[in-house]
Amino acid sequence: MNRFPSKEQGRGAVAVPCSASTETHHTVLETLFYNLEFDFERVSSTIDPILTAQQRCRFTPFYIQGIVADMTAFLSTNLSSNGDLYVTRKGFQWRLGGGQACEISIPQGPLAIHQASIGFEPGGCYLMATIPDTLTLNREKLQPNRCAALRDGDLIEVGALQIEFLLDCFNP
């Protein structure tokens, strides 16, 4: 079942099928080791919440998961063809929209090239609308270029697509 057109590779992230194959887990581990500076303890504490994220969704089968480990942050999502797990590289801000240059590309509906950004800063994650016309957070429209705090379980709506935001923090 192909829910979205295929996503282009090479945008600083890795797309991995969720099926339990050796190759899948190898690729996820490579990305996690890179993101978490090759620290086995940090990788082992974050991998289970990433692989089981969809089971935590209450409103929709689609999610974007923020992973914060100390001062390192990255996202995982299943907004790709066939429900593949998609893990971004570590950073502080990720673009969300219909454009191929977005770290999280949503190839569904008439979306702006850069619809919004999800960001991380000490103290939390935020969502900032670039084009707020078709974007809501917990059913409320966002003001353009203003940050709104993201919390675990928040509902992001991009047009007709509903996405649950999950947040997992791993701090010593």
The residue among 74 and 100 whose pLDDT is bigger is 74
Answer yes or no: is 105 within a domain: yes
Mean pLDDT over 30-54 rounds to 90
Read off the CATH number of the domain in which 72 is found.
Answer: 2.60.200.20
Which domain covers residue 44, as residue numbers? 13-170
Q: Confidence class of residue 92 from pLDDT cuts 50, 70 and 90?
A: very high
Q: List the one residue out of 9, 27, 32, 19 whose CA is nearest residue 168.
A: 32
Residue 6 maps to a domain? no
Q: What is the pLDDT of residues 19-39, one digit of tens each?
A: 444 445 557 778 888 999 999
Specify the pLDDT at position 13.
47
Residue 8 lies in a domain: no
Predicted model pTM = 0.81
pLDDT higher than threshold 70 for residue 6: no
Helix/strand/coil (H/E/C) assignment for every residue in 54-75: HHHCCCCCCEEEEEEECCEEEE
Is residue 4 one of the residues assigned to a domain? no
**Within-domain flag for 3:** no
Q: For residue 123, is pLDDT > 60?
A: yes
In a domain, 82, yes or no: yes
Between CA 26 and CA 24 the distance in angstroms is 5
Model pLDDT, residue 110: 58
Residue 7 domain-assigned? Answer: no
